[in-house]
Amino acid sequence: MQTYLVGGAVRDKLLGLTVKDRDWVVVGTTPEEMIENGFKAVGNDFPVFLHPESKEEYALARTERKSGKGYKGFTFHTSPEVTLEEDLKRRDLTINAIAEDENGKLIDPYGGQSDLQEGILRHVSPAFIEDPLRVLRVARFAALFGFKVAPETMSLLKEISDSDELDSLVPERVWTELEKALSGNYPARFILVLRSCNALAKLFPEIEALFGVPQPEIYHPEIDTGLHTIMSLNQSTRLTDDTMVRFSVLVHDLGKGTTPKDKLPNHHGHENRGVKLIDKLCRRYRIPNKYRELANCVSKFHLDCHRIQEMKPETILKKLEQLDAFRRPERFQQFLIACEADARGRAGFENRDYPQTEYFQKALDAANSVDGSSLQGKGLEGKKLGQEIKKQQIKNIELFLNKNKD
């Protein structure tokens, strides 16, 4: 019985990244022998065991073959005769098909170390094409590491996308891959890889629809709405590692994809049209409500944030109330970051200041400085108390605006 560290743990170790989870492959043994050695059997599809002390997963070396449609349509074969090389061959990418033995020696039969050094995502074998989930996984690894996809692997991704295999993907799994991609240093590459292999139109048609849609050049020198979305997403990575903010930036302009052609390049009303599309997208992939709610705020109010310095105190207070900024200040902060990413996601605007962030925040601070308890002490209550609080909030915002003008 021989054990090997495999997959992401070896890859991340070679990349100098923190290893979070460790997976092991066991060669030359049986399920019975694993149990005799104190391992606990888990998993239904193939033999996986938990180490009695570390609780890490140890899987018996296995081969697999396609036996049905979709990413779950596989049957597995395990036996003491299955070799490490055979187990590694069934994996998706060469960078994930490297093993390390108990002495620290690397076993790399498919050139994964070389592809790591060159920053290339390359499939291990032609069987790669049998699993549609690999389209998303490759795009996700591009987002995490900034790697390029090998031409021959891109051809296989296109072949998968041009079939109906993507239809078999479980909605939650699509979201899981997108969320992981958004946590990477290069999330825009997830979108670009999917678009390059024709998968974006099938999985995220609302985003695909943005490419080729023009915007007024005076505000968007890059013109193309899809390009603006990519640029904004890149800017969001400079500002935050919050995946909720990054998702909101990704979908903030979905409404522009539905603008009638005779109205282009203007997009009047795209903010509210975008909310409906975001709701539809989030229902389709069962995206958590907290993501949907922030994305809707950004879609609906991002133009208001850009123009906040032009607004009167009464209007500013109304916007703060609509954004629920008093009760949810943390989400308001997320909203401001997303708006800044949008503002900077334009050709030539990447490094411009965005004073609206501080301006809007200070307006909230001014409104929050009203002491409701002192007003209650004066005998005000109910509707009259609420009216007086609002009156004082507007007054405080006005004082802030006047001070800001000076």
Q: Look up the CATH number of the domain holding residue 46.
A: 3.30.460.10
Mean pLDDT of 53-82: 75
Q: Is the pLDDT of residue 341 over 60?
A: yes
pLDDT attached to residue 69: 55
Token code pair at residue 99? 């093993």
Domains contained in the chain, number:
2
CA neighbor of 112 nearest in space, from 133, 129, 91: 91
Are 232 and 331 part of one and the same domain?
yes
pLDDT attached to residue 62: 86
Mean pLDDT of 167-179: 96
Where a domain ends, among 118, 138, 173? Answer: 118
Does 178 fall in a domain?
no
Q: What is the DSSP string of 179-244?
A: HHHHTSS-THHHHHHHHHTT-HHHH-HHHHTTTT-B--TTT-TT-BHHHHHHHHHHHHHHH---HH
pLDDT attached to residue 357: 97
Are 2 and 105 part of one and the same domain?
yes
pLDDT attached to residue 382: 64
Model pLDDT for residues 190-217, shown as the tens digit of each residue: 999 999 999 999 999 999 999 999 999 9
pLDDT attached to residue 361: 96
Where a domain ends, among 92, 118, 144? Answer: 118
Model pLDDT for residues 37-63, shown as the tens digit of each residue: 889 888 766 678 889 888 888 999 888
Query: Which DSSP category does 18 fall into?
Result: P
pLDDT attached to residue 124: 96
CA distance 68 to 170: 15
pLDDT attached to residue 371: 74
pLDDT attached to residue 146: 96
Q: Which domain holds residue 108?
A: 1-118
pLDDT attached to residue 385: 77
Are 244 and 356 part of one and the same domain?
yes
CA neighbor of 245 nearest in space, from 308, 311, 213, 293: 293
Are 221 and 99 part of one and the same domain?
no
This model's pTM is above 0.75: yes
Mean pLDDT of 59-69: 75
Mean pLDDT of 127-141: 95
Does 133 fall in a domain?
no
Does 304 fall in a domain?
yes
Does 321 fall in a domain?
yes
CA distance 341 to 344: 5
- Which of these ranges, 41-55, 150-164, 259-273, has the smallest mean pLDDT? 41-55
Does 163 fall in a domain?
no
Is 329 exposed, middle or buried (CB count within 10 Å of its CB: 0-12, 13-18, 19+)? middle
Find the CATH number of the domain harbouring 238. 1.10.3210
Q: Answer for the pair 215, 228: CB distance below 8 angstroms, yes or no.
A: yes
Are 95 and 213 part of one and the same domain?
no
pLDDT attached to residue 255: 97
Predicted confidence band of residue 230 (pLDDT cuts 50, 70, 90): very high
Where a domain ends, among 73, 100, 118? Answer: 118
Are 90 and 233 part of one and the same domain?
no
Does 108 fall in a domain?
yes
Does 403 fall in a domain?
no
pLDDT attached to residue 383: 72
Q: What integer best gives the mean pLDDT of the chain? A: 92
Q: Tell me what percent of the residues of the chain surpass a pLDDT of 90.
A: 77
Does 171 fall in a domain?
no
pLDDT attached to residue 247: 98
